[in-house]
Structure 1
Amino acid sequence: MTQLNFTLDVEKIKGEVMQSSLNDVVKSSVVLILNEYMEMERDQYMNDSSHDRNPYRHDYRNGYYERNMILNVGKVKLKVPRTRSGEFSTKVFEKYKRCDQAFLLSMLEMVVNGVSTRKVTKVVEQLCGEKISKSMVSDLTKKLDPIVKEWAERPLNTQYYRYIFVDAMYIKVREYHRVVSKAVYIALGVNAKDKREIIGFQVSDAESKTNWSEFFDTLTARGLQSPKLVISDAHQGLKVAISEKFLGTSWQRCTVHFLRNILQSMPKKNTKEARTHLKEVFKASNSKISRALKDEFIEKYGGEKKFEKVVETLENGYEDAVQFYAEPEETYRHIRTTNVLERINSEVRRREAVIRIFPNKKSAYRLIGAVLMEYDKNIDPGGRKYIYRVN
Structure 2
Amino acid sequence: MTQLNFNLDMDKLTEEILSSDLSSVTKGLAVAVFNAYMEAERDAHVQASHLARSPDRQDMRNGYYERDYRLPIGRITLKVPRTRSGEFSTTLFERYQRMDQSLVLTMMESVISGVSTRKVTKIVEELCGDAVSKSFVSNVMKRLDPEIEAFRTRALNDAQYDYVYVDAMYIKVREDHRVVSKAVYIAQGVTTAHYREMIGFMVAGNESTVSWTAFFQDLRARGLTKPKLIISDAHAGLKAAIKQEFTDCPWQRCTFHFLQNMVTSMPKKHSGPARQMLKRIFRAETIKHAEAYRDEFIEFVQDDPKYAAVIEKLEAGFSDATQFMHEPEDYYVSLRTTNSLERVNREIRRRERVIGIFPNLASAERLIGAVLMDIHELFQTPKRKLFQKHDLDK
Indicate whether the TM-score tops 0.5.
Answer: yes
Give the SS at the match of 2:387.
Answer: coil
In the TM superposition, 1:9-20 aligns within 5 A as none
Structure 1 residue 106: Cα displacement: 3.1
Partner of 2:136: 136
Partner of 2:210: 210
Offset of 1:89 from its aligned partner? 8.6
Specify the alignment match of 1:261 in structure 2. 261
Cα distance in 1 for residues equivalent to 2:282 and 2:112: 38
Q: Which residue of 1 aligns with 2:29?
A: none
**Which residue is 2:37 aligned to?**
none
Partner Cα separation in structure 1 for residue 130 and residue 164 of structure 2: 49
Distance (whole Å) between structure 2 residues aligned to residue 323 and residue 152 of structure 1? 29
Supply the distance in 1 between the matched residues of 2:321 and 2:168 (Cα, whole angstroms).
Answer: 19
Letter matched to residue 217 of structure 1: Q
Deviation at 1:314, TM superposition (A): 0.6
Q: Are 2:172 and 2:181, in contact at CA under 8 Å, matched by a contact in 1? A: yes
2:172 alignment partner, SS class: strand
Match of 2:199 in 1: 199
Q: Kindly provide the CA deviation profile for residues 20-42 of structure 1, in whole angstroms up to 9, marking residues without a partner as x.
A: xx9xxxxxxxxxxxxxxxxxxxx
1:158-177 alignment, distance < 5 Å: 158-177=158-177
Counterpart CA distance in 1 for 2:354 and 2:324 is 37
Match of 1:291 in 2: 291
Uncovered stretches (5+) of structure 1, i.e. residues with no partner:
1-21, 23-70, 73-85
Match of 1:250 in 2: 250
RMSD: 2.3
CA–CA distance in structure 2, aligned partners of residues 120 and 210 of structure 1: 38
* Secondary structure of 1:183's aligned partner: strand
Matching residue of 1:329 = 329
- Name whichever of 187-196 and 108-117 sits farther off: 108-117
When residues 168 and 309 of structure 1 are mapped into structure 2, their CA distance, relative to the original with a 3 A threshold, is same
Corresponding residue for residue 368 of structure 1: 368
Structure 1 pair 139–93 and aligned structure 2 pair: CA distance change class (3 A): closer
Deviations 1:208-241 (A, max 9, x none): 0000000001101110001010000000010010
Amino acid at match of 2:350: R
Deviation at 1:123, TM superposition (A): 1.0
Runs of 4+ in 1 over 2 A off after TM superposition: 86-90, 92-106
Q: Distance in 2 between matches of 1:177 and 1:88?
A: 44
Q: Check if 1:316 corresponds to 2:316.
A: yes
TM-score after normalising by structure 2: 0.74
Identity of aligned residues (%): 52
| Partner residue, 1:188 | 188
1:88 CA drift (Å): 8.4
Q: TM-score with structure 1 length normalisation?
A: 0.74
Counterpart CA distance in 1 for 2:375 and 2:183 is 20
CA gap of 1:296–1:101, structure 2 versus 1, over 3 A, is: same
Task: Please list the CA deviations of residues 122-146 of structure 1 after superposition, one character each: whole Å capped at 9, or x if unmatched.
Answer: 1111122132211111111101100
In structure 2, distance between residues paired with 1:94 and 1:144: 19
1:148 maps to 2:148: yes
The question of whether the paired residues in 2 share the 8 Å contact of 1:108 and 1:140 is answered with no
> Does structure 1 conserve the Cα–Cα contact (< 8 Å) formed by 2:330 and 2:387?
yes
Offset of residue 118 of structure 1: 2.0
Cα distance in 2 for partners of 1:95, 1:352 equals 33
Q: Which residue pairs with 2:106 in the alignment?
A: 106
Contact 2:162–2:229 (CA under 8 A) maintained in structure 1: yes
**1:303 alignment partner AA:** D
**How far apart are the structure 1 equivalents of 2:247 and 2:104?**
47
| Count of residue pairs brought into register by the alignment | 306
After TM superposition, give the deviation of residue 380 of structure 1 in Å: 4.2
Which residue of the partner structure matches residue 233 of structure 2? 233
Distance in structure 2 (CA, Å) of the matches to 1:245 and 1:324: 20
Aligned to 1:122: 122
Amino acid at match of 2:368: I
- Given that 2:152 and 2:201 are in contact with CA atoms closer than 8 Å, whether structure 1 keeps it comes out as yes
Q: Which runs of 5+ in 2 are unaligned?
A: 1-10, 12-69, 72-84, 390-394
Cα distance in 1 between the residues matched to 2:317 and 2:284: 17
d(CA) in 2 for partners of 1:219 and 1:242? 12
Report the Cα offset of residue 115 of structure 1: 2.2
Name the SS of the counterpart of 1:275 in structure 2: helix
CA distance in 2, matches of 1:185, 1:363: 16
* Greater radius of gyration (CA): 1
CA distance in 1, matches of 2:204, 2:227: 23
Distance change >3 Å, CA 310–CA 116, structure 1 → 2 = same
Name the aligned partner's letter for residue 139 of structure 1. N
Question: CA shift at 1:101, angstroms?
Answer: 8.3
Describe the shift of the 1:96–1:307 C-alpha distance in structure 2 as closer, same or farther (beyond 3 A).
same
Q: Distance in 2 between matches of 1:121 and 1:89?
A: 26
Shift of 1:103: 3.4
Q: Distance in 2 between matches of 1:388 and 1:326?
A: 18
Report the Cα offset of residue 105 of structure 1.
3.9
- 1:280·1:293 contact (CA, 8 Å) conserved in 2? yes
In structure 2, the CA distance between the partners of 1:302 and 1:159, relative to structure 1 (3 Å rule), is: same
3-state SS in 1 of match to 2:156: coil
1:96 to partner: Cα distance: 4.7
* Matching of residue 305 in structure 1 with residue 305 in structure 2: yes
Distance 1:247 1:97 in 2: 58
- Cα distance, 1:95–1:306 mapped onto 2, change above 3 Å: closer
Structure 1 residues 101 and 130: CA distance shift in structure 2, 3 A = closer
Instruction: Pick closer, same or farther for the CA change 1:221–1:129 going to 2, 3 Å.
Output: same
- SS of 2:146 mapped into structure 1: helix
Task: Tell me the distance in 2 between the aligned counterparts of 1:309 and 1:227.
Answer: 33
> Once the 2 structures are TM-superposed, how far is the Cα of residue 150 of structure 1 from its aligned partner?
0.7
Note closer, same or farther for the CA distance 1:284–1:203 as it changes in structure 2 (3 Å cut).
Answer: same
